[in-house]
Homo-oligomer: A and B are copies of this chain.
Amino acid sequence: MTDRTEPRRGRPGYDQQGILDVAVGVFNAHGYDATSMGMLASSLGLSKAAIYHHVSSKEQLLEMALGRALSALEGVLDASHERGDALSRLSFVLTGAVKVLVDELPSVTLLLRLRGNSEVERAALTRRRAFDHAVTQIIVEAQRDGSLRDDVAPGVAERLLFGMVNSLAEWYKPGGPEDAERLAADILAVALEGLRAH
């Protein structure tokens, strides 16, 4: 994975990654569909035509951002296989997903708002559903071994857990009062123990 923040060498104008970073920010601010190449151009301080020197289409920008987000999430799932019992794996995935959301907030935010309006969007949604399904299987296992209550359907539990995690895209502000580890701990605490005082 290339480092987005490293300043480039020759440094005349933008490179593709620089275009992408700005584009994802504007996509998230106004929504992908509501963002025109003209808005993108003025955010970049370029003409519309100049953007097409770096990318072939608006949709290619979307595709690159979605690939980044999905790879990061899938990486968490892959790493979780090394873990022991199902509850440990679930905790690891939730914590990892929060970290991904915080680290890759722009691209994941874009992913979470997809409507499936094009082939690119539908392919991303399919990959995302596979992720959700894999997490649901971990929950099934944890219910089976008795570490999670089984009176909540595993699919519902998965969606509620990621409802909390994914809500970060709507309200987490980098540099705010809460850091990623604290948020991950809060979410895990609510998910496993609940909010009621003991």
- Verify if A49 is at the interface (C-beta below 8 Å from B): no
Q: A34 interface residue, CB < 8 Å from B?
A: yes
Contact status B29-A115, CB under 8 Å: yes
Instruction: Decide if B115 touches A148 in the complex (CB within 8 Å).
Output: no
Q: Mark A32-59, 1 if CB is under 8 A from B, else 0.
A: 0110000000000000000000000000
Grouping DSSP codes into helix (H, G, I), strand (E, B) and loop, the A interface class, with mixed when no group exceeds half, is helix
Total copies of this chain within the assembly: 2
A186 within 8 A of partner (CB): yes
Indicate if the CB atoms of B33 and A31 lie closer than 8 Å: yes
Are B156 and A163 interface neighbours, CB within 8 A? no
A167 touching B178, Cβ below 8 Å: no
Among candidates B147, B183, B191, residue contacting A190 with C-beta atoms closer than 8 Å: B191
User: Contacts A87-B196, A157-B195, A193-B196 given; 6 further ones with Cβ under 8 A?
Assistant: A33-B34, A149-B195, A150-B197, A166-B167, A189-B194, A193-B193
